[in-house]
Amino acid sequence: MGYSYAFILMLLGFLFLVSSPTEAAIKKYQFDIVVSSVSRLCHAKPIVTVNGRFPGPTIYAREGDRLVVNVTNHAQYNMTIHWHGVKQLRNGWADGPAYITQCPIQSGSSYTYDFNVTGQQGTLWWHAHILWLRATVHGAIVVMPKQGVPYPFPQPYQEAELILGEWWNTDVEQVEKQGNLLGLAPNMSDAHTINGKPGPLFPCSEKHTYALEVESGKTYLLRIINAALNDDLFFAIAGHNLTVVEIDASYTKPFTTDAIVISPGQTTNVLLQANQSPGRYFMATRSFMDVPIPVDNKTATAILQYKGVPTTVLPATPRLPAPNDTAFVEAFNAKLRSLSPGNVPLSVDRRLFYTIGLGVDPCPSCVNGTRLAASLNNITFVMPQVALLQAHYYGVKGVFRLDFPDKPAAAFNYTGVPLTANLGTSLGTRLGTIAFNSTVELVLQDTNLLMVESHPFHLHGYNFFVVGQGIGNFDRSKDPAKFNLVDPPERNTVGVPTGGWTAIRFRADNPGVWFMHCHLEVHTSWGLKMAFVVENGNEPDESTLPPPKDLPTC
Ligand SMILES: *[C@@H]1O[C@H](CO)[C@@H](O)[C@H](O)[C@H]1NC(C)=O
Ligand SMILES: *[C@@H]1O[C@H](CO)[C@@H](O)[C@H](O)[C@H]1NC(C)=O
Ligand SMILES: *[C@@H]1O[C@H](CO)[C@@H](O)[C@H](O)[C@H]1NC(C)=O
Ligand SMILES: *[C@@H]1O[C@H](CO)[C@@H](O)[C@H](O)[C@H]1NC(C)=O
Ligand SMILES: *[C@@H]1O[C@H](CO)[C@@H](O)[C@H](O)[C@H]1NC(C)=O
Ligand SMILES: *[C@@H]1O[C@H](CO)[C@@H](O)[C@H](O)[C@H]1NC(C)=O
Ligand SMILES: *[C@@H]1O[C@H](CO)[C@@H](O)[C@H](O)[C@H]1NC(C)=O
Ligand SMILES: *[C@@H]1O[C@H](CO)[C@@H](O)[C@H](O)[C@H]1NC(C)=O
Ligand SMILES: *[C@@H]1O[C@H](CO)[C@@H](O)[C@H](O)[C@H]1NC(C)=O
Ligand SMILES: *[C@@H]1O[C@H](CO)[C@@H](O)[C@H](O)[C@H]1NC(C)=O
Ligand SMILES: *[C@@H]1O[C@H](CO)[C@@H](O)[C@H](O)[C@H]1NC(C)=O
Ligand SMILES: [Cu+2]
């Protein structure tokens, strides 16, 4: 009796699944790149935006949907948009980094990004991927699970996106240009922002404060995105703990914390229970920086507003970790575990070891006769004049070399006493090549050439597993034994700790040309970037798709 009852339930469940509307939808968006006057910090200034909004519009999709985004450039700057974390299977044409997968959309032109969101759900984001324009050209991507598929945590009452950013009072392109011209570090930002607003710790900011209204007793899902150009950030809400459930659109084993750390490029979903005495509480964000270099150390705030509480009530202030709290960051990262890890590569076909270096190269016109430079395996990446993916697809010679070294030319004490010798770098547009479907282990090793610093690294076209992390020099004979191959966090952007290393693994099953770079824009500008050519497989469905007809040309 019990048996047949269960059987009937199973049958009903099956029928329900079959009849539920799971068909993928086509979601169309129009992105107009326009210069708009936005008022922040006491005065209005023109910034480059999508549809006049800052932050830009949120893209909503379900796993499996097709997104069709027509980007029309009405501004004077060249533009491209990157869909950060979308895997773009066989479809690098829609990935967006300028001169890597496409030529820019020039003033007066349009390009339609047409891509499917396959096998991914959670919070991602989109941003300009040319010059420093992503400072103001960015927004959230919310990928809901397929129809009828619940979250692996209790259904929240409501959801909200919190985009953390950096604000300059001057034109951000002038800041970048001035840094390049002088060969020095560019000016740091004037403020941090939460959903585009700096909050009341800044002058004339009462109207420039984001507030999130909550009902007492309810649970909220907060989708937090670090869209800052150059700053790792802490985030906390006064009086409330946060339960981390997802990072970079990959579910995690839930854990509770009073603050999070989030690097540029990363996303973190947290559950917030409005379970404190009804009131007003500040949310706050501020930089994490554990080496003594100048950084925008100003705190942006927003308000968690319990429904019905008068806005005259002074908000409570949260305690953020100290700006140099490395121990908090290490402990936080150690808690990140995949909820249900997919196929973590257990064996490795290809081992890569890349050193991250900051240095100086000759520059006769610069202030010191030198300019700051950054490199991987001592190679400072030189941007090509035409897009690498096109050059690869059509076999155009002379655009790049396929000889990026798998390891540095010579081993040295990477994180030893500050290394002031060999501070020059070698320049080139050199790419690494990877066989289709091979498993790759990449160890990113920070160095003390010039100085140590932490670097958030982003790989396009893939998620990877973060199998290990440590301080000091990576030890090939000892460290792999400590790798987590059971439930390592899966993500698309990972921090390499100051004076330390991070090991990632992925299966190269997405053919194309994929950018990999530090997500601190200042370091990317200095050349801390490279790209992989992942070869086609043998089957017809294992090669890069043909390019769309409206792909921009250079
Ligand atoms: C994209 O938008 C522009 C401006 O509205 C329009 O002229 C163009 O036809 C659109 N392209 C496509 C493919 O719809
Ligand atoms: C997206 O999915 C649709 C439907 O399966 C398919 O026709 C289309 O070719 C896919 N597009 C890309 C870029 O993969
Ligand atoms: C950078 O900061 C310096 C010193 O405050 C200032 O003189 C300069 O105008 C700033 N540059 C830009 C592009 O805003
Ligand atoms: C937050 O979590 C900590 C550690 O689990 C706990 O001691 C504290 O009481 C919690 N605070 C709130 C407001 O729930
Ligand atoms: C923030 O940085 C400025 C300039 O770098 C410095 O003068 C100031 O003391 C710092 N403030 C704090 C609270 O660390
Ligand atoms: C962090 O900064 C504080 C204040 O500047 C300083 O006293 C402390 O020594 C620093 N801690 C570390 C671990 O560097
Ligand atoms: C370059 O010049 C600046 C400003 O004059 C100075 O602060 C800095 O120490 C110099 N850097 C190097 C590497 O010489
Ligand atoms: C590397 O440098 C550090 C600090 O300068 C030193 O403690 C360590 O012994 C060196 N390691 C090797 C293998 O030389
Ligand atoms: C990096 O390359 C430059 C230029 O070839 C060279 O002078 C320097 O010694 C190299 N540095 C290292 C650490 O390999
Ligand atoms: C990739 O390799 C794995 C392990 O050998 C194999 O199971 C899988 O089918 C291959 N995938 C493709 C697309 O060839
Ligand atoms: C825009 O991109 C095109 C194609 O690469 C290039 O020729 C042109 O100089 C760029 N324009 C600006 C203003 O950078
Ligand atoms: Cu960096």
pLDDT for res 20: 43
Residue 13 pLDDT more than 60?
A: no
Which of 286, 287, 290, 324, when mutated, tests ligand 6's pocket best, judged by the most ligand atoms within 8 Å of its CB?
324
Mean per-residue pLDDT, 136-150 = 97
Question: Both 93 and 233 in a single domain?
Answer: no
| Percent of the chain whose pLDDT exceeds 70 | 95
Is 552 part of any domain? no
* Ligand 4 atom showing the smallest separation from residue 257 Cα: 2
Structural domain includes residue 339 = no
Atom of ligand 11 nearest to the CA of 77: 13
Contact 67, 95 (CB under 8 A): no
442 inside domain = yes
User: Is residue 550 domain-resident?
Assistant: no
pLDDT digits (tens, 9 = 90+) for 158-192: 999 999 999 999 999 999 999 999 999 999 999 99
- Tens digits of residue pLDDT in 48-70: 999 999 999 999 999 999 999 99
Q: Find the CATH number of the domain harbouring 231.
A: 2.60.40.420
Cα–Cα distance for residue pair 125/267, rounded to 1 Å: 8
- The closest residue, in CA terms, to atom 10 on ligand 5 is 297
pLDDT bracket for residue 327 (50, 70, 90): very high
Residues 233, 329: Cα–Cα separation, whole Å: 10
Last residue of one domain, picked from the residues 299, 334, 369: 334
Q: Which residues line ligand 2 (CB under 6 A)?
A: 66, 91, 114-116, 545
Least confident range from 18-32, 289-303, 334-348, 452-466: namely 18-32
Average pLDDT over residues 401-419: 96
Question: pLDDT tens for residues 277-288?
Answer: 999 999 999 999
Q: Are residues 326 and 223 in the same domain?
A: yes
Q: Quick one: 385 and 297 in the same domain?
A: no
Q: Do 266 and 389 share a domain, yes or no?
A: no
Q: Which residue has the higher pLDDT, 204 or 410?
A: 410
pLDDT in the model for residue 39? 79
Which ligand approaches the C-alpha of residue 289 most closely? 6
- Is 255 within the bounds of a domain? yes
Number of structural domains the chain divides into: 3
Question: Which token pair is 99?
Answer: 């001169």
Verify that 191 and 220 share a domain, yes or no. Answer: yes
| Pair (168, 134) in one structural domain | no
How far does residue 385's CA lie from ligand 11's centre (Å)?
Answer: 9
24 and 169 inside one domain: no
Q: Could you tell me the residue range of the domain that residue 257 belongs to? A: 158-334
Is the beta carbon of 330 within 6 A of some atom in ligand 4? no
Looking at ligand 10, which atom is closest to the CA of residue 437? 1
Q: Is 380 in the same domain as 525?
A: yes
| Atom 10 of ligand 11: nearest residue by CA position | 78
95, 461 contact by CB (below 8 A):
yes
pLDDT of 7 higher than 60: no
Residues 503-532 have a mean pLDDT of 98
Same-domain pairing of 43 and 119:
yes
How far apart, in Å, are the Cα atoms of 316 and each of 202, 216, 221, 259, 273?
17, 16, 21, 15, 17
* 299 and 379 share one domain: no
Tell me if 343 is assigned to some domain.
Answer: no
Q: Which ligand is nearest to the CA of 178?
A: 3
The protein residue with its alpha carbon nearest to ligand 11, atom 4, reads: 554
For tokens 């250079």, what's the residue?
554
* 497 plus 453 within the same structural domain: yes
Strands (E), 169-241: 191-194, 211-214, 219-226, 232-237
Three-state DSSP string of 74-107: CCCCCECEEEECCCCCCCHHHCCCECCCECCECC
Picking from 83, 111, 144, the residue at the C-terminal end of a domain is 144
| Confidence (pLDDT) at 5 | 34
pLDDT, residue 204, reads 67
Q: Tell whether 153 is covered by a domain.
A: no
Residue 345 falls inside a structural domain: no
CA of 267 to the centre of ligand 5 (A): 27
392 shares its domain with 452: yes
